[in-house]
Amino acid sequence: MKKLLIPIVGLSLLAACRQNPAPEAQAGIVSPAAATRIDSLLQDFVNTGQVAGISALVFEKGQEAYFGAYGWSDRDKAVPMARNTLVQIYSMTKPLTGTALMSLYETGAFNLDDPLTQYAPEFENMQVYTGVDAQGNMLLEPVKRPISIRDITRHTAGFPNRPDIPGLSEALAAADPLNRENTLEQMAAKFGALPLWFQPGSQWEYGPSVDVQAFMVERISGQPYREYLREHVLDPLGMSDTRYFVPEEDRGRFSAMYRLDTETGSLTQLPDSTAKIEQFHHWPLARGGWGLTASIDNYMRFARMMLGKGTLDGVQVLKPETVALMATNHLPDSVTERSWLPGKGRVGFGIDFAVRVAPAETAEENNGVVGEFFWDGAASTLFWIDPHNDLAAVLFVQLFPYDPIKLHKKFRDAVYGPYTKTAQPNRH
């Protein structure tokens, strides 16, 4: 493999941690040429100052096919990005919450089309927002059908989440259901007392549905959500680095957060006192939608479990049919309003995963394979699972605003090769 010029900040790390693709992987997607493309891409992001530090891990056909880490975890303290670096995964928390919920589904605790009110009377007698009158008062109508559990797994429940809905956004801000001082039960009661933004099942709108999933795990299991997640998902997979709270002894490997000014190109390291406030305290609210930290190997264990149809290293977390259900598009064609979801590519949505339903049509679209399922995080992290090629990939970085430099598109192109109309990445 061609030897690359390595930035000084990544030199010792690369020498210690970079592994050559296994022979099994070289015959597949992550060839030596692909590994070189990924190295060059990650190195360029650091060299050009677009990111402070970045790492990527790919498994293919049961083997580690690629690992690389470049730049700084903490630029101010000159801490390199490393294999054991902890990052905030934000919405990559969501598939873990969905896994916890679906482990209860497997016991027969609920059906996906059960009404939420069957388990949570907090959501009875919901009203739906239709606008405001001349005085700015909200206009409401009754729900045409109750919110179902399926709705909260695919973001069709109707919970408000935006700051620009006249009347409703003000009511949401006053109720403050996602205040970190709330418990999940208090959060649910506050959402239940607010109008829905739209009729359940009528459109896709990303929001607090997965926080309600965490509440449902707690309500149905009778166990605090944090404990249930640890006992039934994280500990069985050996994910000890995946936590809401980062203890003092591990904070030296907890990555800083960075903000890129897209107009000037300057990259600013954000103060830990604000950027890490969620993980430096034991807050009452354990959000199902975000809040966890992880190391890249920890999150890869989760991705490999899903790639393995619910089992990793002989430990079964979910049944194969449950994983298949989560990785199946649950959005009917009647749901035409899908917010920014089409920007992810030609995808539908399953249970806490986007699901690719058609290949890219142009070079500008995200590269990927029909049948893959994936998600990402607000700090520009990404993972996907490609069953067709027996491949899982995780990309870690701590960059705001969300993916301002198209790193997800570029990383996918580096893994699969540049897009061509006649040679889609599911050709193998």
pLDDT of residue 259: 98
- pLDDT tens-digit map of 297-352: 999 999 999 999 999 999 999 999 999 999 999 999 999 999 999 999 999 999 99
Give Cα 236 distance to the centre of its chain: 20
Mean pLDDT of 195-206: 98
DSSP string of 3-48, one letter each residue: PPPPPGGGHHHHHHH--PPPHHHHTSSS-HHHHHHHHHHHHHHHHT
What type of residue is 131?
Answer: G
Would you state the structure tokens that stand for residue 344, as one six-digit string?
């992810």
Q: Count the alpha carbons within 13 Å of 397 in the hemisphere toward its beta carbon.
A: 34
Q: Which residues contact 20 (CB under 8 A, 6 or more apart)?
A: 1, 35
Domain ranges of the chain: 1-72, 99-227
From CA 369, how far away is CA 359, in angstroms rounded?
6
From CA 209, how far away is CA 391, in angstroms rounded?
29
Report percent pLDDT > 70 for the chain: 92
Confidence of residue 422 (pLDDT cuts 50, 70, 90): low
User: Are 98 and 210 within 8 A, CB to CB?
Assistant: yes
pLDDT of residue 424: 58
- pLDDT tens-digit map of 344-369: 999 999 999 999 999 999 999 999 99
Mean pLDDT of 141-155: 98
What type of residue is 38?
Answer: I
What type of residue is 424?
Answer: Q
Confidence of residue 55 (pLDDT cuts 50, 70, 90): very high
Which CA distances in Å does 90 have to 36, 342, 362, 409?
29, 20, 29, 19
From CA 193, how far away is CA 262, in angstroms rounded?
39
Alpha helices in 308-421 (DSSP H): 320-326, 407-416
φ, ψ of residue 74 to 5 degrees: the values are -130, 100
Q: What angle do CA 100, 104, 105 make, to 5 degrees?
A: 110
Provide the strand spans (E) within 122-254: 127-132, 138-142
- pLDDT tens-digit map of 167-188: 999 999 999 999 999 999 999 9
pLDDT of residue 420: 73
Mean pLDDT of 206-214: 97
pLDDT of residue 418: 85
Confidence of residue 60 (pLDDT cuts 50, 70, 90): very high
DSSP 367: P
- pLDDT tens-digit map of 7-46: 434 433 333 344 443 444 346 999 999 999 999 999 999 9
Question: In whole numbers, what is the pLDDT of the chain averaged over residues?
Answer: 93
Largest pairwise CA distance in the chain: 70
DSSP 229: H
Residue 317, burial from CB neighbour count under 10 angstroms (0-12, 13-18, 19+): buried
Q: Quote the pTM value.
A: 0.93
Give bridge partners of residue 88 from the DSSP assignment.
Answer: 293
Instruction: Give the architecture-level CATH label for domain 99-227.
Output: 3-Layer(aba) Sandwich (3.40)
- pLDDT tens-digit map of 368-397: 999 999 999 999 999 999 999 999 999 999
- pLDDT tens-digit map of 156-169: 999 999 999 999 99
Give Cα 373 distance to the centre of its chain: 11
pLDDT of residue 301: 98
From CA 69, how far away is CA 81, in angstroms rounded?
6
User: Are 188 and 126 within 8 A, CB to CB?
Assistant: no
pLDDT of residue 419: 79
pLDDT of residue 421: 66
Confidence of residue 425 (pLDDT cuts 50, 70, 90): low
User: β-strand 382-386 against 354-356: which pairing, if any?
Assistant: unpaired
With H, G, I as helix, E, B as strand and everything else as coil, classify residue 121.
helix
- pLDDT tens-digit map of 227-278: 999 999 999 999 999 999 999 999 999 999 999 999 999 999 999 999 999 9
